[in-house]
Amino acid sequence: MKRMRRTKIVATLGPASDTPEMVRRLHEAGADTFRINMSHLPREGLRDKVAMLRAVEDQVRRPIPILVDLQGPKLRVGAFQDGGAMLANGDAFTLDSSDLPGDGARVQMPHPEILAALEPGHTLLIDDGKMRLRVKDVSRGKALTEVEVGGRISNRKGVSLPDTLLPITAMTEKDRSDLEAALDVGVEWIALSFVQRADDLADVRKVARGRALVLAKIEKPQAIVHIDDIMEASDAIMVARGDLGVEMPLEQVPGLQKRLTRLARRQGKPVIVATQMLESMITSPVPTRAEVSDVATAVFEGADAVMLSAESASGQFPVESVATMSRIAEEVERDALYRTILTAQRNEPEATGSDAIAAGAHQIADTLGLKAIAAWTFSGSTAMRLARERPNATVLALTPNRETARRLGLVWGVHPIATRDAFDIDDMSARAAKFAIREGLAKVHDRIIVVAGMPFGTPGATNLVRIAFVTQEHAAMA
């Protein structure tokens, strides 16, 4: 199934999309990658979910990437004697280490690391920012705060700390267990929550050992401060706008989204824009005009993928949500401004052979008006470097590694095919032409570009670009 768009769609699995039939409908509607949120799934259920996706993959005969999203630390207040308490603006309220039930004057903060890291002037946001406390004084095991925005605080409500760099790892014991389970069943992407610094990714990489690629969710102000190092340490990023919008001023999030999208492209790494993209379609068959504009903005900016969360996981219209997102992306990519914006954001190639080949292939394709760049790749890096150029031509990624084909299903403009490796230059060109015809990217008498590395099967050795003619013989092979 050849998509008519370059931007990919990530759909989250959940109660509304929990059967093979629904997964296939979502894929046919436009979902390219499926996300499994471990916040709502015990690790024992992961194998069945992956098996279901692999069965659908076999049916549609297209690589389907699986993204497992680790929960990360969940910071919450303790329990209250009456289930909760009303706090008014200006009230004094204490957070402490006592396990006694809370009341209108205090509550337990069952995270001693938070109490140790708080300083006067720091902000605490309760229940997704609905309430705001300001730290006035800190003593051993206790923080006195003033209520700046009051309301009802109740049992186990979440806490966000936009000003505080917490001395905790982004991966909990639950995450470690879930990560091992995800690697055992062979998923392609692991998303890490609560990333504050590049070191947070080290534990995941140490466990993964290359068996899956690691995606950093950018959802905390501290991550923005260390974004260059985080980008260097990750294989991709997600702009998690929901939590960013809680911990940072809402008006700063759109600019950050653009900055992060462009930074990821400059690094040649995929970027997903996520959270509330078509939120109203949880209960409505059509989105708001503002939501359509929001999705379109992410596509105009050249994001590799846009993501649906509750819309596809628990909404009433999961298929319609995916189809709507797909139509928006297709329409944007037909707009004359789309190519203008992508070209204006283009970066100079790095001084490497792979980047020079990718830039050259892009220039050749544009000059000759070619529709396909066939990239023979083992690790996927060649296809990713080509995608960084955002060419007019579709990147037909040909790889002997099925895992690589799946991983590339998340990358802008890449159409991955798992096939045996080429054994010489003529075979490389002939089978590239055959697949270009089979996938609807070329016809007889067209030309395509073929990019590869010599000797074949050597990862990271991209050093060859060739113009190949598509012949009747290639059509017969297809």
Please identify every residue annotated as catalytic: 35, 76, 217, 275
Backbone dihedral region for residue 25 (phi beyond 0: left; psi -120 to 50: alpha; all else: beta): alpha
Determine whether 18 is exposed, middle or buried from the number of CB atoms within 10 Å of its CB (0-12, 13-18, 19+).
middle
Strand partners, 468: 448
Alpha-carbon distance of 215 to 148, in angstroms, equals 35
C-alpha 359, offset from chain centre: 25
> How many whole angstroms separate alpha carbon 224 and alpha carbon 244?
10
> Residue 27 is encoded by which pair of tokens?
């894929």
CA 67/CA 163 separation, integer angstroms: 30
Q: Are strands 447-453 and 66-69 parallel, antiparallel or unpaired?
A: unpaired
Rounded to the nearest 10 degrees, how much is the dihedral formed by the CA atoms of 418, 423, 428, 434? -60
Residue 14 burial (CB < 10 Å; 0-12/13-18/19+)? buried
* C-alpha closest to that of 27 among 411, 329, 318: 318
Q: Looking up tokens 């979502």, which residue turns up?
A: 26
Pick from 155, 123, 144: nearest CA to 246:
123
